Structure 1
Amino acid sequence: MDVVHEDWKERGSIYFDGAEFAAHIRDVGADVLIVEADLVHAEVLNGCRLRMIGCCRGDPVNVDLELATAKGVPVFHAPGRNADAVADLTLAFMLALLRHLPAIQDAFRGGTVRLDSAGDYLALYTRFTGAELGGRTVGLVGLGAVGREVARRLLAFKARVIAADPCPGEIPAGVALVELDDLLRAADIVSLHAPLTPETHGLISRGRLALLKPSAIFVNTARAQLADEDALYEMLRDGRLAGAAFDVLGDEPLRPGHRLLALPSVMVTPHIGGATVDVVRHQSEIVVDAIERWLRGERPRWIANPAVLDARV
């Protein structure tokens, strides 16, 4: 089997799409296509003779699954590929906000604090006295691969973990399932880990956000559209929410001057929850395993359109 590899960092574009992508696939003579963010839509599926597609993502949203299924092309994907990476970032957000690390760094970099002044030091100590994660109630909205890994880390920190999920799979020992509204009322920290579906779009509405304690911290490393970003901004601006961290925003890529960046109680990262060298290894191993099983005539573990393989039995 000949393998053609192209690094998006070298070509300067995060994805191929359209007729150009289809022509490129035909030029190299590929019948097995492995992608991450590249768009595999009608131009590719109709214009190329593909036997299999491997998508190095937990949810292959960049592949037209309906058309791939109609053409009998199996699509393998990589659930859980970035669960550890996103869980690590989520915990980092929680710890940083509990200990006021962004505000402390701003105070030092702004030159407003002098450690050679006893008065300044005492004021700083008092102003930035933080809280421990242990003993705090953390509510997880969604208990999928990422949510479970976050829960395991939180339990190691001696936090009380509650979760809301209408269809939970494995529930880590020590996690209590509750109703969503009860979670929002009780939690010291709320962290979103639900998938974005028609049912979850806008799940954390303005009305539900009003259930949060003013002392609560809000973390979103899942999807921006799960929560009302306008309401969150207003609550943070007005001091009705103690702090928040966002790896996802409704307007991406993150632009300079975004309103949330001006709030000292907010941390923002540019959708980098899965940006680790380890995730590249994880997703590659998952997809390679699927290809090897498929070539041996075995059923791969993760297939997004199982009807294709079921029809061949």
Structure 2
Amino acid sequence: MNKVLVTGADLAPQALQLLQAYEVVYAGKTPTEADLIALCKTHDPAAIIVRYGKVTAAIMGAAPSLKVISKHGSGTDTIDKIAAQARGIDVVAAAGANAAAVAEQALALMLACAKSVVALDARMRAGHWDKATHKSLELGGRTVGLVGLGAIGQRFARMADALEMKILGFDPFAKGLPATIKPSTLDEIWRDADVISLHCPLTDENRGLLNAQTLAQCKPGVIVVNTARGGLIDEAALLAAVQSGQVRSAGLDSFAVEPMTPDHPFHAEPRILLSPHIGGVTSDAYVNMGIAAAKNLLAVIEKQAVAA
């Protein structure tokens, strides 16, 4: 029986139902490269479903029968696509399967930053009543700049439009955008946005997109939200910008190194709100991504069988 290796500890039952013809092997919650190489050598999977960890050239080299790598989600930056292409291994992603979940997380982080939700909760629990002194930020009428206008970015744009925000969007690949999104350059977003929300994949070209130089070009008091990839932000530059007041606050769901280390300097800055890369982790998205990952790998294998 052909095998599917899952770089995680589980898969939605609905996805397993689709994979009845395969033996599914789980790598656990935090698989290392060595773990995955050993499993590939033992099981020689025809497909890998990527949940956690990275799939490197060495891992692919340990699986001679590997035909497809299917991401349990939309971002494929954890897969060595150059190595996969060299081996003739297809890489597919569950694009849009977790769009609702991630867009809602971005909205939650934006609102929490604008309304000081975490800080006020802490103050209340410490016995303070700040009604006479605290001023939150009203988002209606303000401008949000979106970097990335795929399924997640456009869904978030609809939420921002419902808040009566003005929407600037940058995405050189997006077509047929709704009239509510004004196509913009990055320079226009840095200059005009009161909130910047990142919704793009991480590439060599946009790594460190938000850095000391670009943050200095932003409006004083801008809010930064990132539910995409941590590598898009120069973390030291963001911390300095928050401490100086150039950035009012930041809501982050992804980080340069994950899991975040216990001594990370963000922990000491209350104006940076943190969540452990769970934007796409809801019970609904778990099912949707599992089904999409399974369907995608089956489609590739069927296509390859027909072509053979």
**Shared fold (TM-score, shorter chain, > 0.5):** yes
CA pair 11-104 structure 1, distance change in 2 beyond 3 A: same
**Deviation at 1:22?**
4.3
- Classify 1:196/1:25 alpha carbon distance in 2 versus 1 (closer, same or farther; 3 Å): closer
Q: 2:85 corresponds to which residue?
A: 69
Tell me how far apart the structure 2 counterparts of residues 97 and 149 of structure 1 sit (CA, whole Å): 20
- State the shift of 1:156 in Å: 1.6
**1:295–1:252: structure 2 CA closer, same or farther, 3 Å change rule?**
closer
Q: 5+ residue gaps in structure 2?
A: 11-25
2:22 corresponds in structure 1 to none
CA distance in 2, matches of 1:295, 1:248: 32
Of 74, 94, 102, 2:118 maps to 102
Select between 227-236 and 173-182 the one with higher mean Cα deviation: 227-236
Contact 2:170 2:183 in 1 (8 A): yes
2:5 and 2:48 in contact (8 A); partners too: no
Query: Could you say what secondary structure the match of 1:88 adopts?
Result: helix
The structure with the greater share of residues assigned to strand is 2
Describe how 1:203-282 pairs up with structure 2 within 5 A. 203-282=209-288
Is 85-94 or 183-192 further displaced after alignment? 183-192
Query: Does 2:85 correspond to 1:85?
Result: no
Q: Which structure has the bigger radius of gyration?
A: 1
The counterpart of 2:69, out of the listed 50, 53, 62, is 53
Between Structure 1 and Structure 2, how many residues are aligned? 290
Q: Give me the whole-angstrom Cα distance separating, in 2, the residues matched to 1:190 and 1:250.
A: 18
* Mean CA deviation greater in 1-10 or 125-134: 1-10
SS in 1 for 2:219: coil
TM-score (normalizing by structure 2): 0.81
Residues 81 and 15 of structure 1, relative CA distance in 2, 3 Å threshold:
farther
Q: How far apart are residue 89 of structure 1 and its match?
A: 0.8
After TM superposition, the runs of 4+ consecutive aligned structure 1 residues lying more than 6 A away are 1-6
- Structure 2 residue 157 is the aligned partner of structure 1 residue 141: no
* Structure 1 SS opposite 2:179: coil
- Identify the residue that residue 9 of structure 2 maps to in structure 1: 8
Distance 1:64 1:133, change over 3 A: same
Q: Which amino acid aligns with 2:75?
A: D
> Which consecutive unaligned segments of at least 5 residues does structure 1 have?
114-120, 298-308
Judging changes above 3 Å, is the alpha-carbon distance between structure 1 residues 108 and 228 closer, same or farther for their aligned structure 2 residues? same
In 2: Cα distance, 1:142 partner to 1:4 partner: 32
Q: Which residue of 1 aligns with 2:19?
A: none
